[in-house]
Structure 1
């Protein structure tokens, strides 16, 4: 079981936000008999729409943020990735970090102050990107998202973070969802994107989007399932005492479809 602390991150990984996780101390060994995988075979057999695992090392997860970023949209997935509980594995699985245009403090929803870990110029290449709702996304952020998404396993948007992802142009001709109160606005602004109403999350290639707020937690658990299988996702949800089952059913937001 992973244990976390409120102590600052190590200097080796940059400046930590107000709430931070323990520095990486272990390396995820490749133990599978399945070529190209870093997990035991029994963890892979139940994966749907699987993601390719690294041969070794943690999976870097970047959170691009700006002024007005919504806390639950990124702190929910942040905690999920930092709590990933793999059967038979000890140590950290994902390395999370925030990225912004500068290292100046950012004021998030509710007044929380966050010092970004990296700038867009200095951030390590991510394999997963989580785009939360925020008020200060600009062309620098959009350009960074476009650039890194060429090599990501998943670039996911949460809530109206889908507008940020859509503004990159990457969603053109693809499917997505967003916060239910923003459906009409999203469809009017992006007629070339197929909006799925009532979806807890939508996956389309290496892009994904979640519905509003807590939906990002389900999509993050779903990403763990795609990497490591159903058992790992269930154990992570259990550790977090998360009783929601939306990560198992992308259509579970049907109540919001109308």
Structure 2
């Protein structure tokens, strides 16, 4: 059988908090998007969920997927891909799973909708720096989360009441979950499938997709990103996020007689608003 053709990796299973699928019908999944939404962050999990077919359901997907935006106007995602949201925050059905990808900003209306919808959802999950959007709702306060490795430090400084787990492929506390950067969201989606339908169906879905990643079975598999980076004269660290930079590609700023190198204008602005916070933080 297809399942027998898939070898099981010798890694410890993630802690599984089983979720109960509906007795009938599909599981509604809302993807919250706005300008700059990173394509793999939402399309990766979308592909995983749409490919889950429960045996005996005549080939029907187990998940009902839709996008939610502030308006129905087209949204320009990363790379210029245009997405027309299926629903607004006023018209969106109540989801059982909420997916929050990385995106440029989070409006008050978006944050309010996530807070309210999360109360009756089985799971609210962020992908990459979508964790910052989730943090802005206040739902992560006092909890553990992860994000893209270049944002570990920035997020930890901005949200001191959230424990940032370095080197995690994903973090799942039952009702809230967050993944590392980009492709990590695919593994978190497989983990969600496993929570609803078990490892066998998640494995079969991965087999059908020809997906060979095993991170969904090992939440600590981003360990390569855990070490705190060190800079050099030629490759300094951005003072805000500690991203290792090439001098010829970085943005130099003179500060108190020293040249500091930044990865973006946004991080220059963050630094200049509170230099001591970044210079004194360890």
User: What TM-score do you get using the length of structure 1 for normalisation?
Assistant: 0.81
Q: Does 1:48 align with 2:16?
A: yes
Task: Look up the match of 2:82.
Answer: 113
3-state SS in 2 of match to 1:92: coil
The one of the two structures with greater contact order (alpha-carbon pairs below 8 A, sep at least 6) is 1
User: What TM-score do you get using the length of structure 2 for normalisation?
Assistant: 0.74
3-state SS in 2 of match to 1:142: helix
1:205 is displaced (CA, Å) by 2.9
Matches within 5 A, 1:239-258: 239-258=208-227
Give the distance between the partners of 1:229 and 1:182, measured in 2 at CA.
Answer: 32
* 1:76-95: CA deviation from partner (whole Å, max 9, x where unpaired): 00010000133444312101
Matches within 5 A, 1:2-13: none
1:143 is displaced (CA, Å) by 0.2
Task: Look up the match of 2:102.
Answer: 133
Aligned residue pair count: 213
1:216 to 177, 181, 185: 185
* 1:193-218: CA deviation from partner (whole Å, max 9, x where unpaired): 11110000001130000000000000
Task: Look up the match of 1:60.
Answer: 28
* 1:48-107: CA deviation from partner (whole Å, max 9, x where unpaired): 310122121100000010001000000000010000133444312101000000000000
Task: Look up the match of 1:168.
Answer: 137
| Aligned partners of 1:69 and 1:108 also within 8 Å | yes
| Aligned partners of 2:17 and 2:174 also within 8 Å | no
Q: What stretches of structure 2 of length at least 5 have no aligned partner?
A: 1-14, 228-282
3-state SS in 2 of match to 1:242: coil
Matches within 5 A, 1:19-34: none
1:156 is displaced (CA, Å) by 0.1
RMSD: 1.3
| Aligned partners of 1:99 and 1:123 also within 8 Å | yes
Greater Cα radius of gyration, structure 1 or 2: 2
| Aligned partners of 1:85 and 1:233 also within 8 Å | no
Q: Does 1:196 align with 2:165?
A: yes
Q: Does 1:75 align with 2:34?
A: no
1:237 to 206, 211, 220: 206
